[in-house]
C-alpha cells in the first residue's frame, strides 16, 4: 500500500486528489477479499460469508462445502460432498437446511452475530443455525474428514459444534455413532425422503441402548432390521461379517458415564468410503472405485435376497429360515405351536407361536401345588440369530447361565456368548433366524413334558459315559505303565548317535564355521519339556506324546507326507502343538528329521515356524511344532469356497511375511540357508493369518561368500 502511494506521489496524483487514498484502499480491500475465495479457503470467520456459487474446500482437497440442488430439483441446500469426484451421484454426505430449502440462488452461509453458523435466504431470514453456545469470535473450518467444525477463533481446540455431531444420512470414518444408555440419548442417522429429496425420510439408523449394543434400522418407531449384539469383535446377527464388511467397527466407552460410540477406520487411509441409510430403508457400505468412476456397494443390510433379514418375520417364538430366491419359511420353536393355525397356513406368520405346555413355575402359580411336577429343561437351537431384547447380561459360564435362568420364573431362554457373557430373555422371543452356518446356540426353556424324555435319556447317557470313561482310564493307565516299563524312557545309543556328530548328513557345514549341531548335552534329558542351556531342544517322553495325540488317533491327524504323518496334540504347559511323526520306512524322512533339528533349533524369526521339542525313543522319531490353527496357504488358495477370505490386504500381508522370512534365511540369520522346498503347502498360517515358513528337511547351508553348491539328488520345489 505504501509503495503504491509513493509511486502515485511521484506522478503527482495523490497530492492533487485528496480522496485518492480512500478509493485506493477500498479497491485493494475488495481485491483481497476476492482473492480469498479464489484461493479455495477451508474456513470462514466472523464478518465473512459464503454466497451461492462459492465453496469451501478442505486443506487436503478431500471435501467441499457449498450450495447444491439435487437432480431434477431447483431447491437449494447447503451441503458437504466429496471434492473432485465427477459422477452423476453427487455423493452428498451432510445437509444443513434439509427441512427448509432455499428456492433461488440467493442463499448465504455466514457466522452470525451470536457466533453460530447460519444459512440465510434471499430475505435475510435464517433457515438453519448450528444453535450452539458459541462465542461471538468463532471460526468454521471444513477438515479433511468431511467435518465442519465451529470453534473459537483464538483457540481452535475449543469446539462449540460440529457437523459430525449433527449427522444426516451418512456415517464416515472418524464419525461417532453415539448412545448414552444411562440417560437414553441416541444419535441417529436419518434417511433422505426420496432419492432426490434431502428432507428427513421415514428411516433412521443408530445404536440400540438396551442391553448389549447393536445397530438398528427403524421405520418410524418400528424396527426394520438389527445387526444382533456386539461381542467386542463383530455383530453376532450378521452372517459372515468378517468377509462382508471390508472395514471393521470399534466400540469405545467414554469415561464410564454410560456413553459409548461406534467408529470405524479404513485400512487404507486413501480410500474414500462411507456408510449410509438409503431413502428406501437399506443400509449400504460404499467404496469409491476411481478406475470405474463410480461408487461400489460392498455390502447392504437387510439382505435383499433374504426376507428373514426383515425384523421379526415369523412373530414371537417363531424361527425364520431362508428358502430359495428371496423367500422365507417360518416354523415354531420346539415345544411351541402356531397361535392362529388358519393364518399360519395362509403364510401370515405375524401372530407367531404359543407354548404347548406352561412352564413349571407358571403352572404352580396357577394351580397352587408342586406335587408330581418335574423340573423345566432346555432345548438348544443351534446356528441361531439370538432374539432381541436380552434383559440381563451377566458374567459367568454356560452352567451358571442355566442355573440363573431356572431360578427366574420369567426366564424364557438363555445363551452364553463369548465376549458378552450370559444373556437372559424374560419376554417373548422375537426376531429369531436360523443360519446355515455360524450364529449361536439359543437354549429355550420348556416344560418337562415337552422335552420328549430327553432329560432322562441325557442323565442315563451321562451315567453310562462316566462309568465307561472311568474303566477306560483305568485300563489305559495299566497299559501305559506296562508300556513304559517295557520300553523305558531312555533312547537307544543307535537312535541318538547322530546327535553327537557335529557334521550331520544333508548339511554342508564346512562352508560355515558358525554352525554347530552339538546337542550331546541333551541326550540325558527325557523329562517332559525340560530345557537345556543354549539352543538345545527339550526332549519329550514317547508316552506323553502318545497320550497328547490320543494314541495317534485318526481324529487328531492333520496331514500326511513322504516324511510321515502330522498329528494335533495337547501337552501340559504347551497347550496345542503339531507333532510330526517320522515314518519308519522313509529314509528321506530320516534325513529331513536330522536337518530340521539342526536348523530350526538355531533359527528364531516371526515368519519361521517354531520348533518346540523332539522325541527320540527306540525307532520312534518325532518333532513338536507350534500349532497353526489356519492350516497352510494351499488350504485357502486352492479351495474356491476359501479364496474369498483372502482379500488383497491379507494376500499382501502374507506375501510380505514370506519375503521377510526368506530375507532372514538368506541374509540376516547366523546361518545362510536355502530352503529348496518353498511351496504353498509349506507356508503355515497362525490364528492371525501370519505366515510361517516350515519344512526345512530339504534345506542347505551356504557359506558367507558361497553362491552355488552341488547336490547328490534332485529334490524340493
**Using an 8 Å Cβ cutoff, are 150 and 159 in contact?**
yes
| Strand 318-322, strand 432-434: pairing | parallel
The answer to whether 112 touches 50, Cβ cutoff 8 Å, is no
Q: Is 580 annotated as a binding residue?
A: yes
Q: Are 137 and 46 in contact (CB under 8 A)?
A: yes
**677 counts as catalytic:** yes
112-to-48, 50, 126, 137 alpha-carbon distances in Å = 10, 12, 10, 10
Rounded Cα distance, 402 and 482, in Å: 44
Specify whether the CB–CB gap between 158 and 174 falls below 8 A: no
In the numeric block, the cell 432419492 is attached to: 195
**Mode of pairing for the β-strands spanning 413-417 and 440-446:** antiparallel
Separation between Cα atoms, residue 173 and residue 196, nearest integer Å: 24
At 543, list the grid cell: 508316552
Residue 115's nearest CA partner among 95, 131, 128 is 131
CA distances from 281 to 145, 146, 252, 608 (A): 26, 24, 27, 49
Q: Can you give the three-state secondary structure of 432-488, one letter per residue?
A: EEECCCCCEEEEEEECHHHHCCHHHHHHHHHHHHHHHHHHHHHHHHHHHHHHHHHHC
Q: How far apart (Å, rounded) are the C-alpha atoms in residues 545 and 340?
A: 60
710 class by beta-carbon count within 10 Å (0-12 exposed, 13-18 middle, 19+ buried):
exposed
3-state DSSP assignment of residue 357: coil
DSSP-derived secondary structure letter, 643: H
User: Smallest Cα–Cα separation from 274: which of 149, 163, 186, 145?
Assistant: 145
For residue 74, which phi and psi values (nearest 5 degrees)? -100, -5
Alpha carbon distance 121, 494 (integer Å): 97
Grid coordinates standing for 216?
A: 438398528
What's the Rg (C-alpha) of the chain? 36
Give 716: exposed, middle or buried? Use CB within 10 Å, 0-12, 13-18, 19+. middle
Beta strands in 522-676 (DSSP E): 557-561, 564-571, 575-582, 611-617, 620-626, 672-674
Of 221, 225, 232, residue with least CA distance to 186: 221
Cβ-contact 578, 568 below 8 angstroms: yes
For residues 144 and 44, give the distance between their C-alpha atoms in angstroms, rounded to a whole number.
Answer: 16
Active-site residue (options: 52, 208, 388, 677): 677
Residue position matching grid coordinates 543307535: 494
Residues that are catalytic: 677
Binding site as annotated, residues: 580
Binding site as annotated, residues for ATP: 580
Amino acid at each position: 500500500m505504501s509503495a503504491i502511494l509513493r509511486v502515485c506521489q511521484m506522478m503527482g496524483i495523490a497530492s492533487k486528489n485528496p480522496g485518492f487514498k480512500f478509493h485506493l484502499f477500498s479497491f485493494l480491500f475488495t481485491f483481497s477479499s476476492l482473492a480469498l475465495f479464489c484461493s479455495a479457503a477451508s474456513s470462514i470467520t466472523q464478518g465473512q460469508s459464503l454466497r451461492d456459487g462459492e465453496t469451501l474446500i478442505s486443506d487436503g482437497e478431500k471435501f467441499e462445502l457449498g450450495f447444491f440442488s439435487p437432480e431434477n430439483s431447483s431447491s437449494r441446500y447447503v451441503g458437504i460432498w466429496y471434492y473432485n469426484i465427477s459422477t452423476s451421484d453427487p455423493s452428498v454426505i451432510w445437509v444443513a437446511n434439509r427441512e427448509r430449502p432455499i428456492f433461488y440462488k440467493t442463499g448465504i452461509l455466514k457466522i452470525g452475530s451470536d457466533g453460530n453458523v447460519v444459512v440465510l435466504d434471499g430475505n435475510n431470514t435464517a433457515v438453519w443455525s448450528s444453535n450452539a453456545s458459541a462465542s461471538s469470535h468463532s471460526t468454521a473450518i471444513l477438515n479433511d474428514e468431511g467435518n465442519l467444525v465451529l470453534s473459537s477463533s483464538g483457540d481452535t481446540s475449543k469446539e462449540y459444534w460440529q457437523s459430525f455431531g449433527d449427522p444426516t444420512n451418512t456415517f464416515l470414518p472418524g464419525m461417532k455413532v453415539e448412545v448414552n444408555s444411562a440417560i437414553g440419548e441416541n444419535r441417529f442417522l436419518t434417511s433422505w425422503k426420496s432419492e432426490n429429496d434431502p428432507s428427513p425420510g421415514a428411516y433412521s439408523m443408530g445404536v440400540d441402548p438396551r442391553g448389549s449394543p447393536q445397530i438398528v434400522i427403524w421405520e418410524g418407531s418400528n424396527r426394520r432390521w438389527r445387526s444382533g449384539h456386539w461381542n467386542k469383535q463383530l455383530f453376532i446377527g450378521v452372517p459372515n461379517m468378517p468377509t462382508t464388511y471390508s472395514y471393521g467397527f470399534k466400540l469405545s466407552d467414554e469415561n464410564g458415564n454410560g456413553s459409548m460410540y461406534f467408529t470405524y477406520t479404513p485400512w487404507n487411509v486413501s480410500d474414500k468410503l462411507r456408510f449410509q441409510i438409503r431413502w428406501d430403508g437399506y443400509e449400504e457400505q460404499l467404496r469409491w472405485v476411481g478406475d470405474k468412476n463410480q461408487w461400489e456397494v460392498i455390502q447392504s443390510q437387510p439382505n435383499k435376497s433374504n426376507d428373514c433379514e426383515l425384523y421379526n418375520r415369523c412373530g414371537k417364538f417363531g424361527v425364520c429360515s431362508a428358502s430359495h430366491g428371496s423367500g422365507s419359511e417360518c416354523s415354531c420353536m420346539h415345544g411351541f405351536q402356531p397361535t392362529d393355525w388358519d393364518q399360519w397356513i395362509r403364510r401370515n406368520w405375524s401372530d407367531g407361536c404359543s407354548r404347548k405346555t406352561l412352564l413349571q413355575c407358571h403352572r404352580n402359580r396357577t394351580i397352587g401345588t408342586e406335587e408330581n411336577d418335574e423340573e423345566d429343561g432346555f432345548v438348544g437351537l443351534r446356528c441361531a440369530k439370538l432374539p432381541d431384547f436380552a434383559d440381563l447380561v451377566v458374567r459367568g459360564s454356560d452352567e451358571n447361565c442355566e442355573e440363573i435362568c431356572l431360578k427366574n420364573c420369567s426366564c424364557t431362554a438363555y445363551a452364553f456368548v463369548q465376549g458378552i457373557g450370559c444373556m437372559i430373555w424374560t419376554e417373548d422371543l422375537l426376531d429369531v433366524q436360523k443360519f446355515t452356518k455360524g450364529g449361536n446356540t439359543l437354549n429355550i426353556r420348556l416344560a418337562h413334558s415337552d422335552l420328549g424324555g430327553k432329560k432322562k435319556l441325557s442323565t442315563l447317557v451321562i451315567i453310562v459315559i462316566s462309568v465307561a470313561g472311568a474303566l477306560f482310564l483305568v485300563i489305559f493307565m495299566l497299559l501305559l505303565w506296562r508300556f513304559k516299563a517295557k520300553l523305558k524312557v531312555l533312547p537307544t545309543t543307535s537312535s541318538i548317535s547322530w546327535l553327537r556328530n557335529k557334521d550331520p548328513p544333508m548339511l554342508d557345514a564346512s562352508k560355515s564355521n558358525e554352525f554347530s549341531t552339538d546337542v550331546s548335552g541333551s541326550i540325558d534329558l527325557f523329562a517332559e519339556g525340560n530345557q537345556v542351556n543354549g539352543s538345545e531342544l527339550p526332549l519329550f517322553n514317547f508316552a506323553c506324546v502318545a497320550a497328547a495325540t490320543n494314541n495317534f488317533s485318526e481324529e487328531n491327524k492333520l496331514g500326511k507326507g513322504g516324511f510321515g504323518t502330522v498329528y494335533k496334540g495337547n501337552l501340559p504347559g504347551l497347550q496345542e502343538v503339531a507333532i510330526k511323526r517320522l515314518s519308519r520306512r522313509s529314509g528321506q524322512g530320516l534325513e529331513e528329521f536330522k536337518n530340521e533339528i539342526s536348523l530350526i533349533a538355531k533359527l528364531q524369526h516371526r515368519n519361521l515356524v517354531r520348533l518346540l521339542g523332539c522325541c527320540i525313543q527306540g525307532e520312534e522319531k518325532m518333532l513338536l511344532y507350534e500349532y497353526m490353527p489356519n492350516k497352510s496357504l494351499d488350504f485357502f488358495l486352492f479351495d474356491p469356497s476359501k479364496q474369498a477370505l483372502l482379500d488383497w490386504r491379507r494376500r499382501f500381508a502374507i506375501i510380505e511375511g514370506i519375503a521377510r522370512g526368506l530375507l532372514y534365511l538368506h541374509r540376516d540369520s547366523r546361518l545362510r540357508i536355502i530352503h529348496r522346498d518353498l511351496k504353498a503347502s509349506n507356508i503355515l498360517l497362525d490364528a492371525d493369518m501370519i505366515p510361517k515358513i516350515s519344512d526345512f528337511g530339504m534345506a542347505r547351508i551356504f557359506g558367507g561368500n558361497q553362491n552355488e553348491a552341488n547336490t547328490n539328488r534332485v529334490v524340493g520345489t
